[in-house]
């Protein structure tokens, strides 16, 4: 296996982008990443696309060919990767494997989703396909309901409070204020979260990530290419992926996302680091309880201790381990296929110094992207 570097990043703003189609968003992110890497389209040897459901959201499949065509990447092999909300992270992993295996030296990975052109009911229907349709969705168990069950069990077993969950949203909205790509630039209070509309008790509107449009892209290259072209890369030091039962009721422990635990173990071992070495992380906070679970399952705290850990300020931008300094899915936005790639854009930007004023001394970062309620998990470790 060869060492793999990230030398270029690009992204669109996240939000309700009415004037941009799915291919427009992807093409823009790809172009920005190529410009950032200072390489030509002719140098690109392969393309990986992360997108959950172009068909249901945009009436468009065959996204590998579409994006390669629109971005001017003529005749390159292009592969669309799907893993529900983990589609972007999986696409990044496949691009990493491509370069690490020696197959190609220069690979583009792009994540994109266009979710706002259909009704709210149609979005809910599309998202329900990321759960077990026969065992969950058909009975009305949408994702707010599934995560509400997890949250209620966490509260009853460990004493986690709605206030501690709300602090996750408050922190992430505060962080998003300095992120030009973020969907929301609105500061909120704990009281705002607690008073917001209940989706499925105890999950409220401001505990949940929004429906979003957007795209993000990365340029991955081999170590030889990076050295020959005298670029300053950020290295992908570890990559892990695992799955679990897609239905909550089939799991041994509903309060542990086993796929996250296993994927993190793989990534840590490959990178030669542990949870205590990670200095900054972007984790999958589709709901505030999901960030608390990630903090535990990634090994940052013991199971059940994430609520007090957050309450003590440990995950703030100046805390022990800053988490979701981008604003996370909660405030940055969550265009499904783009999320896992955008997480990497954020970490690479911070480690490389592209983003000023945010944890500029960090040398090791982590991204964590999950699909559904934990049926798939992807973890990557990045080193300066």
User: Does the global pTM surpass 0.95?
Assistant: yes
Same-domain pairing of 108 and 176: no
Structure confidence at residue 358 as a pLDDT band (50, 70, 90): low
Same-domain pairing of 227 and 245: no
Q: Dihedral, CA atoms, 171, 175, 177, 179, nearest 10 degrees? A: -150
Whether 32 and 10 have beta carbons less than 8 Å apart is answered as: yes
> What integer pLDDT is reported at residue 229 of this predicted model?
84
Same-domain pairing of 179 and 94: no
Contacts of 360 (CB under 8 A, 6+ apart): 350, 353
Is the predicted pLDDT of residue 177 greater than 90, yes or no? yes
Same-domain pairing of 282 and 323: yes
Is the predicted pLDDT of residue 247 greater than 90, yes or no? yes
Same-domain pairing of 143 and 248: yes
In terms of residue numbers, what domain contains 72?
Answer: 4-119+212-235
Q: Please identify every residue annotated as catalytic.
A: 85, 334
Grouping H, G, I as helix, E, B as strand and the rest as coil, residue 164 is helix
Write out pLDDT tens, residues 20-48.
999 999 999 999 999 999 999 999 999 99
Same-domain pairing of 191 and 290: yes
Is the predicted pLDDT of residue 380 greater than 90, yes or no? yes
Q: What total number of domains does the chain contain?
A: 2
The tokens describing 206, both together, are: 């401001």
Structure confidence at residue 283 as a pLDDT band (50, 70, 90): very high
Query: What is the average pLDDT score of the chain?
Result: 96
Q: Which CATH number do you get for residue 203? A: 3.40.47.10
Same-domain pairing of 217 and 86: yes
Same-domain pairing of 171 and 231: no
d(CA 57, CA 246): 22
Whether 318 and 324 have beta carbons less than 8 Å apart is answered as: no
């Amino acid at each position: 296996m060869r060492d793999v570097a990230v030398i270029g990043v690009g992204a669109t703003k996240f939000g309700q982008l009415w004037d941009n189609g799915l291919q427009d968003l992807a093409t823009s992110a790809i172009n920005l990443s190529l410009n950032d890497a200072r390489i030509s389209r002719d140098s690109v040897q392969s393309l990986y696309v992360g997108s959950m459901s172009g068909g249901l959201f945009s009436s468009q499949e065959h996204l590998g060919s579409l994006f390669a065509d629109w971005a001017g990447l003529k005749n390159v092999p292009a592969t669309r990767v799907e893993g529900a909300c983990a589609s972007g992270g999986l696409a990044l992993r496949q691009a990493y494997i491509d370069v690490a295996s020696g197959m190609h030296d220069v690979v583009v990975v792009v994540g994109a989703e266009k979710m706002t052109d259909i009704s709210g009911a149609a979005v809910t229907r599309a998202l329900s396909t990321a759960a077990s349709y026969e065992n969950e969705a058909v009975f009305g168990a949408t994702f707010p309901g599934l995560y509400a069950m997890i949250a209620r069990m966490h509260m009853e077993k460990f004493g986690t409070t709605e206030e501690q969950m709300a602090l996750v949203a408050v922190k992430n909205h505060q962080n998003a204020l300095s992120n030009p790509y973020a969907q929301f630039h609105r500061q909120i209070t704990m009281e705002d979260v607690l008073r917001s509309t209940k989706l499925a008790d105890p999950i409220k509107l401001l505990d949940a990530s929004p429906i979003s449009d957007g795209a993000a892209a990365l340029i991955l290259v081999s170590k030889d290419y990076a050295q020959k072209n005298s670029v300053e890369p950020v290295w992908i030091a570890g990559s892990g992926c695992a799955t679990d039962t897609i239905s909550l009721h089939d799991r041994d422990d509903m309060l542990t996302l086993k796929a996250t635990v296993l994927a993190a173990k793989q990534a840590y071992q490959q990178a030669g680091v542990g949870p205590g070495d990670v200095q900054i992380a972007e984790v999958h906070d589709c709901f505030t309880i999901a960030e608390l679970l990630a903090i535990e399952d990634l090994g940052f705290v013991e199971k059940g201790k994430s609520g007090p850990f957050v309450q003590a300020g440990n995950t703030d931008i100046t805390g022990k381990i800053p988490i979701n300094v981008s604003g996370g899915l909660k405030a940055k936005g969550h265009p499904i296929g783009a999320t896992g790639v955008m997480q990497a854009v954020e970490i690479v930007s911070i480690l490389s110094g592209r983003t000023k004023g945010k944890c500029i001394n960090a040398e090791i970062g982590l991204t964590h992207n999950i699909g559904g309620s934990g049926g798939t998990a992807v973890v990557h470790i990045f080193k300066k």
